[in-house]
Structure formats: C-alpha cells, structure tokens
Structure 1
Amino acid sequence: MGMRAIATNTPGATHADNQRTKRRNGNNDLRLLPVAITIWAATLATQLAGAQSSANGSNTHSNMLLACCGGCTVMALLAIMYLTHAHPHPQGAAMRMPAIACTLTVICFAALAGTFTTLAWQYRTASDIASRLTANASSTQSHVNFQARSMPVASTTREYDCQVDALTISVESSGLLEPSHIGMRVFMRNEACSTIMQNGTYRAQGRIRTARYGREPVWLETSMAVETVSEPSMFWRALHSMRTAFFTQTSRLDDQGSILVPGVTLGVLGQNIVTPAGQTQVEEQYAQQLQDRCKRAGIMHLMAVSGGHYTLVHKLVMLLCAALGCSRPVKTVALAGAYLCLTAMLPPNESVTRANLMAMIALGYLMLGRRRQSIHLLSLTAIVALLFDPSLAASIGFALSCSAVLGLSLMCRPLSQRLEQHLPATLARAISASICAQAFAMPIQLLMSNEIPIYSLPANLLVAPFVDIATMLGLGALLLAWCAPSIAYALAWASSACTRAIAVAADTFGAGDSSTLPWMEGATGIIMLVIAQLTFYAICMGIRAWVNAYDAWRTGADGKQIRASITQRVIGWFSQTLAMIGDITWASQHRSKR
C-alpha cells in the first residue's frame, strides 16, 4: 500500500532476489505506520483545537477542525467514486489502484476516525458533572464515589501526603447526585492513605478542581477520612497483600536498594511508596540526589516499567511450555494469563498500557504460527490505544514508549549488523539498541527537560547486564514475600546488589553539571535536534560510501571490506605479541645452554 521499508541487500544477490527478500521480511512492512501517525496527529490536533476554543471562548479552531474533516471526507468520497466508476469490480480495482492513491485514501479515513473519536471523547468529558463543576470554578464541597485504579503513592504536592488515580462513579454537589465516569486524581492525608486498595470503591468529601498537570483532567482534594463503600475482590486484595509484604522486605535494604529495587520491579521508587504503616522511610536528600543523577545520566527510563518485564515473562513461559511440549493454543492461553497477571501487579501507566496491548496483540501471531512483525505490531497498538483512549495522544510517557520501540524496530538490526563487523556481537547489539532507542526518544524528552545527557550511552551499557537480573530477582521477591519472607528478603538483597550498578552509573556519569548539554526549548529545540541527528546520520552514510568506494578502488572488485575488524586486529596483536615473547631467548636459558 505504498510505503515499504528499508532492507539491507544481500551481497551477491540479484535485484529480484533482494526484492523477494524485502517482501518476505514482515519487519520491513511500514504500511500501517502512516495510518498510526495520522490518527495520532488528528487526535492531538483535535484536543489542542478544543483546548484553544475553550480558553479563548471562540469557535475559530473548531471551525478549522470541521473544515479539515470536511476536506478529508470529500477526498475519501471522491476516491471511492473514482474507483467505483473506473472499475466495476472493487476487488480488482483495489489490486490495480496506484499505491499512493490507496495510501492517501486510507490516511483520509484514519484522520476522520481519529478526529471523530476524539470529538466524542471530548463531548463526554465536558458533559460530565465533575468537569462542569471545575468549569464553574465552584468551591463547594462535593461527595464523590470513586474506584481506585492504582495503588496510593506519595503526593506530588506539598499540601497532601498521598495520591491515587481513580475513576469517578457518582458526584453529589448541592444536594444533587449525578452519575459520573471520568478520570480523577485524588489527593488525601495519611489517615486516608492507609485505607485505599486498588480496584476498591470509596467515598470522599472534598473540592473538585481542574488538574494543573498530569493525564487526569480533574483533581479531588480532601482532608477528611475516606469511607470504604466496597472492598476489592479477593484477587486484588491478594495483590495488595503481596505488594505490602514486598515493600516491607525492601524497606530493610540499604538506601539505594530501598529506592531502586521497587523501581526496577514495579516502576515505583522507594521514596514514593505508601503502605498501611505509612510512607517508606528513605533519606529524602539522598533519594532526590539519586533521582536527579539518574536523569542526568540518561538511565531514568529503567525505573519506568515497559516492554522489558513482558519480554522476561514471555521467555519464561515459552521455556516452560517448550519443556512440557505444549501446543500453540496452550502457549497462547498461558501467555495471555501471564500477561494479565503481570499487568495487574504493575501500577497502571502509559508505558504499561502500550507494552500490555502490544503483547496481547502479538499473541495473534503466535496463534497463527507466524513471526512477529515489530513495526506492524507497534502501529496496530498505537491505533487501537488511541481510538479507545484519545487522551494517550497527549501523554509524553506513551509517546516515549512508542518512539523507543519504533527506533528499535527500524534501525537496531541494520546498525547491529554494521557494528558486528568491528565489535563482538553482544556488545554490538547492546550499543545499537541503546543508540536507536535514545535517538528516537530524545526529541520527545526535550518536552520534559531541555538538557541532553552526554554520557547516556556508556551509562546504559554499564547497567544493561544487571537490569534484567535485578528485575527477575525483584519479581521473585514480590511473588514470595507474602508466604516466604526470608527467601523474599534474600532475593531482594540480591536484586539490590545488581541495582548498585545503577547507583554507580548515576554517580559516575550524572554527578556534575557537565554531564548534560543545555539545549533550546520548545518546538525550535526539537526541530534543531532532529536536524542535528539527520546531519550526523548523513555524515555517517557519506563516510561509509567513501570507505566502500575506496575499497572498490583498491581491490578493483565489488567493494567488499578487506580490512580486518577491530576484534580480529586485537586478537592478532595479542597472538603475535605472545609468539614474539615465546621466541625470545632469555638470559637464564642462554647460560644453561653454555
């Protein structure tokens, strides 16, 4: 359908062979990528237009949005009329249609789908009673029934002790009770924090206000006790007990272990944990210092749970199923159950949403016995996520997760193949993965901080061998903490020994102000960074072309590399040096011969 990706041509193969290889390689299928980008852009533009119209009190942005929708509709209808008129048989028309026309038609429908879905979501949000109260700037105390969607964590505001993301059920204000269904962040005091469990239903009295930041559109601030309407099911109560027992064991570790082990295991840093006994006691100054240094070193992403946890679970389940000789349907069901349990254990956030949805969609490939197609899978994930929850379009966490996966899917394998010519395969794969993920995520990171970590590559290479081990040990401690606390503490301690590498990398590469490069803010900074990245890429491609041309001139052949790789040269140097040392006649040997 118009857009195919890059594939490395096989040396010695004909052009036809390379084209067949490209068609067979599903990882190079980019046809859904423009559709996903269009839906994302349409969804985000619709949200921005609605926000501008609400702020200015005018309909200019709304009229522009409607004009764009009308244009997309007319273009799509004209394309359909052309196809129907020119080709009586639609199936044949689709096959004979030019690729670019087909791509543009699908993009028009994608833009319409993203726009209308977002408009419906905005209308539902604006008509909710909680949104109406914030629009009227009412200071009246309201009674809110809500369902907790996350575990309580330390508050991001100084006025309150903890916060929890929730879904409103009903709001009672001025004696009027109305149903509600909107995301809300609830800020509470210590007394109320100890009563909250994920997926439980509660009733609180407080003031509803517009959110100053974050994904949830409204906040509820309460200083009173929270009443339990209904406790969560036995499954969620068991998970709550497991987490509490796990946090009890990690609190016995040293400061870096208390902070980082929960971070790599559940994505919650130790200083942000709130248990029935209160907030975890960690030295506040050290915790803030460690967090800042991790950001400056470019390794803060290790504390955000994403695809790594699902990859580990996938490998473990597949090894177990292979040992038991399970069929593909059994493997699919086992993986689906493992993914759902893992998602329930992890605190909900945008990166977990992306990783879980992508893993569940990938089960279709396993069920059909086909290899996973990374870019196609990522595009499907973004399309489904944005159509079901348009608020994700404005989420930086979701954008960072998707951009990093896109970089790995597009560039990791070609770059790794190039680096393997000079470096060991394991090191080449680690370097290429780090470079690709950071290159695609860096422009979005500028939206949070206008500083670029200079030493992020060596810092990530230093911690890479230890992160997966620390995560597996941490998950083991989480599963055993409720029934075998001694074993769980031993696993948590071993995990903290691995996370010490993260602390060392943060202290080494993020301690000083010289560890980051100040950059321009806003859209200008993002554009300049993309231009700099493209320029560097063009320079590398130019050097590669010059080296290939030089080799062709030297050999008069097809330009294949004739130089030894770095690894081969190092091995050759050591072998020749040892051989020369072995040939030396030492003084003691000379005297014995005499």
Structure 2
Amino acid sequence: MDGRLERGGDDRRLLPVAIVLWTSCLAAHEAFSRCMALFAGRNDSGEGGFDGENGSAIPVIVVCVVTIAVLLVWIVAERCARRGIGRMLIVVCVGAFLLGVVTTWAAESAVWFDPAMVRARDGTTRVTARLRVVEPVETSSMRDVDCQAETRLVAMDDGVVSTWSHAQVRLLASGADCGRLHRGAGYQVSGELREAELGVTPLWLTVSGADDETMGDTGASGAKPGVSGIDMTERQPLFDRWRERMQESFFHATDGLDDSGRILVPGLTMGFLGQDHVGIPESNPAGDSAGDSTAGSAPIDETYASRLEDCFRRAGIMHLMAVSGGHFVIVAALIRRIGAHLLMPRQAVACLIVVSTTLMAALMAPGDSVTRALAMGWLSAAALFVGRRAQALSALCVIVIVMLLTNPALAWSFGFALSCAAVLGIILMAQPMADVMALLLPDALADALAMTVAAQMATLPIQMLMEPQLPIWSVPANILVTPVVAFSTMTGLAGLAVAWMNMDVGRLCAWLSSWGTRIMEQVAVRLGDGSQATIPWMEGVTGALALVVLEASAIVGIRLAYRWISPSPGAHMLLGDPFTSNPRNRLRLWWQDTHSMIRKLTW
C-alpha cells in the first residue's frame, strides 16, 4: 500500500487481544467464585471442603477447564488459519486468554486466602488492626455511621493470633473520629471486622466507640491508644498534606454558593460531590490552616442532593458529577496551544503535559476512569515527544491490557467498563456518524451529536446491567450542557489551583464555575425529573444482549446509508476529501439565491 494512503489510526490488531483478555478475566472470576462457594458450602455442612478429602479436586477441576478451553480455542484457530486469518494474531489471543485466567485466579486466591478474609468468613470478630487510609474520607450512606474511608490493612490482631494482611477494608466511623482520618496516614484501629454487605470492598471494619462525641488526649472516644477507637501511628506524607490542604481550601471556596453550586462545582472539578465531603477540623494533625470547610456554612439539604443525583442519572448526564477523560483532554489542549504560541519544542510540551496531568489526577477523586485517562494521556504525550501521531485505539487497547494484567479486578468494575466503552465508541463510531450527520447539520453540531450518540450507544448495554432503564433524553441533555462543560471545568480547576494561596480568587473562580453548573442543574431537572424521563427495559444479561442486537442493527443501517450517500469506491483512491452535493449545501444555495432574487426585485 502507498505510504501516503496508510492510516495507522485504523490499526485494530490489539482490539481482539484486549477483548479476549477481558473475557478471560471475567470467566476466571466467575469460575473462582462458583468454585469457592461450592467448597465453602461443603465445608460448612461437614462434607469436606478445602481441608477435606475433596480439597485436592480444585486443581484438577481448574486444569480440566483450562485444558478444554485451550483445545476449543486451538481448534478454532486452526480453522481460521486455513481461511487466511492471521496465525500470529490467533496465537497472541490464545496467550492472552491463558494469561488472563492465570493472573485472575492468582489475584482472587490472594484475596480469598488473606488472613483477614479467612477470619471474617468465620463471623464478626473484634480485632485491633494497623492500616493505612488510601482514599479520601467520605460521608456514609449507612445510618449507624457518619463517614467511611477505603483503607489497606498492614497487620491484624484478634487477641489470639497476630498476623500480616494486605486486604482492602472499608473503615466505618462516627463523630469525632471522622475528623481524625486523613488520606495517606497510618492508624491503629480497634473495632469489629466483618464481611461487606454491599459494594466492591470485601471487608468492613467498624470503629469501636465511634459514636462517642468526646475525645481526649488518650485517643478517640476517650479510649487508650491501641485498645479501642483510632490512634494515629504514622502522619501523612508531605504531598498528601499539601493535597488535602488544596482540596479543603477549594471546598471552603464553594461555601458561599447555593446548594447546587456546592454539590456540582466540586463534583465537576474533582469528582467529590459536596454532600459527600467530610470537613477537617482546625486542630487536625495534618496542619491544615484552611480549617473546617463546613464551619460557618449551613449543611447541604440531603433530600435536594439525592433528588439532584437522581435527575442527573435519569437525564443521562451522570458523568458530569465525576472526573472523566474530558478533564485531561482540556488541560492537554490548553498546554499545546500555549506551547505553540510560545514556540516551545515538542519535547518540553510533552513533559509539561505529563507533569500537569499527573498533578491533576492526584487532586481528583480516585477512580478507575481517572487512571485510564491518565495512562492514555501519558501515551499521547510520549507520541508527541518522539514526533509521532497518537493512535487512540492502540493506546486504549494497550492501557486495557496492562491495567487488567496488573489488577484483574478491573474486569468486573462498572466504572472502568463504562470509561473504556465510551472511549471505544467514540473512536470507532463518532467520525462515521459525524460524516453522515454533516450532510444535514452544521459541522460543529454534527461532531458534538455524533460523539454523544457514539458514547451513549457503547455504554448503554453496561448501564442496563446496573439499572434497567433507558434515558430517552440523554442525547438532548448532553448537547445542551456541552457548551458550558469546558468553561465550568476550566474555572473550577483554576479555583482548585489558587484557592489554597488566595481564597478570594478561589471564590471568584468557583462562582464563575457555578454559572455553568446552574445550566446543568436546569437541564437535569427539566429532562430528568419524573417517570417520563426513562423507559423500562429488560433486566440482567438478557436486556444487555437485546440492546446490543438493537444497536448493531442501527449501526448496519448507518453504514448502509453512508455507503449509499458517499461517492463511488474509485473516488476514494484519490487524495483529499471528495466534494459532493448534499442537502445542507443545496439548502444553503437555495436560500442564498432566493435572498438575492428578492433583494433585486423592484417593488
């Protein structure tokens, strides 16, 4: 093929590899869960289990299942190779499948046989644990506790045995203990450890005496350190203290806004909704001089906050309440423009993009979509550094493969699946849809509409697994909020960057950002309030598959329409874009001729 006509952006060889790897991780997870449930049930009924005579059957079952799967794939590979399908691609897919199964099984085994998990499966137990907070503290949706924080265990002592552990635990606390928790710090906590009732985190640890509002020098709830309550054993690192100060200062800058601004401005900027924020007291050990971000301001109406979330979800714009890849695209584009204006070398621009996006990701709410967007931003910056065009599809596939191999649990994460599906839909379908829509609509509107429809079509099957309802106003809602999303995001990020240094400027930026979030609120309330905003759909996998079939039919129809409207195949061998008549051009010419004729008439 002529090098001038070669399009590296259409290289899709890694796409089947990523799909096979994802499928193998899901299959291994389901097989492991069923296998462990089966043998755990036998162990509870006294019929054997892991320690019984049937315990040795687990490796045999695993080997048999993997062997059968490999044989089936190999048979299919041989038949495909006879028909001219690339043998190397098939071999790589088989290797990815086996690697996904082994990696997922090893990761699931490490979690299942962790000492904390083993102890929690025996029932609720009182332990003294050493742990580290790995995510920001948030308000809890449970009635018996005030706040929650995601932590990582270091060691655990149940009064009989003291052992090391690396399990992920959700720490549940109340009262004054919530103000003592800081991201990055280490603690010794006494409380009740049990299996999680809901959510992804497998274990819950409820702090003993957390509902006692008094706290002395001896520890939380008046208890002695190491006996009950919470005792800090390791202070926050310097970077975590600086990050916490910036976030608290920005929350403090939004205190003067109305409830919608206090909810949406932090949500759009950092991914933290205002009602989920837990204020840090002025006497906190991190040395935060910003004080309690909730002091002196009325609490957010919980009923209004819950209703607003429901409206955003039913309107199909729930992604505006979280950090997405749009943040990184906006920041990278701004840096590129500044670099081009200053005639900076591309290597310096690439390094500046990496540093800026990394710092921004550190200030955002942790999430799988943030990690995916940051990693893809790094690959794009690397392409800019070496002077090559970024290949979005190849970058997405590489990131998916690497992230699934390092953390197989992402395969059953709805957040990661939605993020990857949205990007994949935009890459594969947005441009063909925009070409068809541009025949009737202005280019800017056609591009925005095509991107919205492509992302919506790719993510709808996954959304049906979460909630079987179709948001009928999703596309109009996204089109209406698109003009203000970039403005509100940039002003919000500016406020986050300066609020810790100058609170007045931070308040001004937050106020400017709230003007855009007011439009988002009105769109969500107008289009997402009431039962008429959604259509019920079939539940579970059946509903998702039915939607996939429906969307596939629509895609085939669009491709047929595009081929019918587009010029003959021979025209595509020429360089450049073909110029043909279309309804929009004919309408424009008709209006110009009519207007000119009327002007020249003699009345």
Bin for the TM-score computed over the shorter chain? 0.7 to 0.9
Pairwise CA distance, 1:402: 0.3
| Alpha-carbon separation, structure 1, partners of 2:471 and 2:389 | 36
Could you say which residue in structure 2 is the equivalent of 1:134? 120
Pairwise CA distance, 1:303: 1.3
Task: Summarize the Cα distance change of 1:341–1:510 in structure 2 as closer, same or farther, 3 Å threshold.
Answer: same
The partner residue of 1:366 within 376, 379, 384 is 384
- Whether contact under 8 Å (1:548, 1:561) holds in the other structure is no
Pairwise CA distance, 1:164: 1.0
Could you say which residue in structure 2 is the equivalent of 1:315? 333
| 1:117 to 2:111 alignment | no
User: SS state of the match for residue 205, structure 1?
Assistant: strand
| Alpha-carbon separation, structure 1, partners of 2:93 and 2:562 | 36
| Alpha-carbon separation, structure 2, partners of 1:468 and 1:65 | 50
| 1:33 to 2:18 alignment | no
| Alpha-carbon separation, structure 1, partners of 2:455 and 2:74 | 39
Task: Summarize the Cα distance change of 1:287–1:126 in structure 2 as closer, same or farther, 3 Å threshold.
Answer: same
1:251-290 alignment, distance < 5 Å: 251-276=255-280, 277=292, 281-290=299-308
Could you say which residue in structure 2 is the equivalent of 1:190? 175
| Alpha-carbon separation, structure 2, partners of 1:342 and 1:476 | 11
1:219-238 alignment, distance < 5 Å: 219-223=204-208, 224=210, 225=220, 226-238=230-242
User: SS state of the match for residue 299, structure 2?
Assistant: coil
Could you say which residue in structure 2 is the equivalent of 1:9? none
| Alpha-carbon separation, structure 2, partners of 1:198 and 1:418 | 49
Could you say which residue in structure 1 is the equivalent of 2:413? 395
| Alpha-carbon separation, structure 2, partners of 1:430 and 1:255 | 30
Bigger CA drift: 171-180 or 392-401?
Answer: 171-180
| Alpha-carbon separation, structure 2, partners of 1:213 and 1:155 | 13
Identity %: 32
Could you say which residue in structure 1 is the equivalent of 2:502? 484
Pairwise CA distance, 1:238: 1.1
| Alpha-carbon separation, structure 2, partners of 1:294 and 1:418 | 29
| 1:345 to 2:342 alignment | no
Pairwise CA distance, 1:121: 0.9
Task: Summarize the Cα distance change of 1:583–1:340 in structure 2 as closer, same or farther, 3 Å threshold.
Answer: same
Could you say which residue in structure 2 is the equivalent of 1:418? 436
| Alpha-carbon separation, structure 2, partners of 1:118 and 1:307 | 27
- Whether contact under 8 Å (2:130, 2:189) holds in the other structure is yes
User: SS state of the match for residue 274, structure 1?
Assistant: coil
Q: How big is each residue's C-alpha offset from its partner over 1:228-260, in whole Å with a ceiling of 9 and x where there is no partner?
A: 111111221011011111101112201111111
| Alpha-carbon separation, structure 2, partners of 1:62 and 1:320 | 58
Pairwise CA distance, 1:173: 1.2
- Whether contact under 8 Å (1:263, 1:304) holds in the other structure is yes
Bigger CA drift: 311-320 or 159-168?
Answer: 311-320
Task: Summarize the Cα distance change of 1:282–1:462 in structure 2 as closer, same or farther, 3 Å threshold.
Answer: same
Could you say which residue in structure 1 is the equivalent of 2:185? 200
| Alpha-carbon separation, structure 2, partners of 1:548 and 1:377 | 30
Task: Summarize the Cα distance change of 1:562–1:102 in structure 2 as closer, same or farther, 3 Å threshold.
Answer: closer
Task: Summarize the Cα distance change of 1:454–1:120 in structure 2 as closer, same or farther, 3 Å threshold.
Answer: same
Q: How big is each residue's C-alpha offset from its partner over 1:526-566, in whole Å with a ceiling of 9 and x where there is no partner?
A: 1111111122233344455566799xxxxxxxxx9965433
| Alpha-carbon separation, structure 2, partners of 1:314 and 1:210 | 42
| Alpha-carbon separation, structure 2, partners of 1:33 and 1:436 | 18
| Alpha-carbon separation, structure 2, partners of 1:78 and 1:353 | 37
User: SS state of the match for residue 145, structure 1?
Assistant: strand
| Alpha-carbon separation, structure 2, partners of 1:213 and 1:247 | 29
- Whether contact under 8 Å (1:72, 1:112) holds in the other structure is no
Could you say which residue in structure 2 is the equivalent of 1:11? none
The partner residue of 1:218 within 191, 196, 203 is 203
Bigger CA drift: 315-324 or 171-180?
Answer: 315-324
1:27-106 alignment, distance < 5 Å: 27-57=9-39, 65-71=62-68, 99-106=85-92
Relative to the length of structure 1, the TM-score reads 0.85
- Whether contact under 8 Å (1:424, 1:567) holds in the other structure is no
| 1:249 to 2:253 alignment | yes
- Whether contact under 8 Å (1:79, 1:105) holds in the other structure is no
| Alpha-carbon separation, structure 2, partners of 1:516 and 1:342 | 35
Q: How big is each residue's C-alpha offset from its partner over 1:409-442, in whole Å with a ceiling of 9 and x where there is no partner?
A: 1111121122222211111110010000000000
- Whether contact under 8 Å (1:142, 1:171) holds in the other structure is yes
User: SS state of the match for residue 444, structure 1?
Assistant: helix
Q: How big is each residue's C-alpha offset from its partner over 1:3-56, in whole Å with a ceiling of 9 and x where there is no partner?
A: xxxxxxxxxxxxx66xx666x212211111111111111111111111111222
Letter in 2 for 1:355: A
Could you say which residue in structure 2 is the equivalent of 1:449? 467
User: SS state of the match for residue 227, structure 1?
Assistant: strand
User: SS state of the match for residue 86, structure 2?
Assistant: helix
User: SS state of the match for residue 166, structure 2?
Assistant: coil
Bigger CA drift: 144-153 or 326-335?
Answer: 326-335
Could you say which residue in structure 2 is the equivalent of 1:13? none
* Structure 1, unaligned runs of 5 or more: 1-15, 83-94, 551-559, 586-594
Pairwise CA distance, 1:354: 1.2
Could you say which residue in structure 1 is the equivalent of 2:575? none
User: SS state of the match for residue 520, structure 1?
Assistant: coil
Pairwise CA distance, 1:64: 5.4
Pairwise CA distance, 1:446: 0.7
Letter in 2 for 1:221: T
Pairwise CA distance, 1:380: 0.5
Pairwise CA distance, 1:127: 2.3
Count of residue pairs the alignment pairs up: 545
| 1:520 to 2:538 alignment | yes
Q: How big is each residue's C-alpha offset from its partner over 1:112-169, in whole Å with a ceiling of 9 and x where there is no partner?
A: 11111112111211221211112212x2211121111111111132221111111111
Letter in 2 for 1:243: Q
Bigger CA drift: 387-396 or 330-339?
Answer: 330-339
- Whether contact under 8 Å (1:142, 1:206) holds in the other structure is yes
| Alpha-carbon separation, structure 2, partners of 1:496 and 1:583 | 51
User: SS state of the match for residue 446, structure 1?
Assistant: helix
Pairwise CA distance, 1:578: 6.9
Q: How big is each residue's C-alpha offset from its partner over 1:373-428, in whole Å with a ceiling of 9 and x where there is no partner?
A: 11111111111111101111110000000000000111111211222222111111
Letter in 2 for 1:416: A
| Alpha-carbon separation, structure 2, partners of 1:476 and 1:567 | 42
User: SS state of the match for residue 202, structure 1?
Assistant: strand
Bigger CA drift: 192-201 or 569-578?
Answer: 569-578
Task: Summarize the Cα distance change of 1:369–1:543 in structure 2 as closer, same or farther, 3 Å threshold.
Answer: closer
* Structure 2, unaligned runs of 5 or more: 43-54, 211-219, 221-229, 281-291, 569-577
| 1:385 to 2:397 alignment | no
- Whether contact under 8 Å (1:142, 1:205) holds in the other structure is yes
Bigger CA drift: 108-117 or 122-131?
Answer: 122-131
Pairwise CA distance, 1:457: 0.6
Relative to the length of structure 2, the TM-score reads 0.84
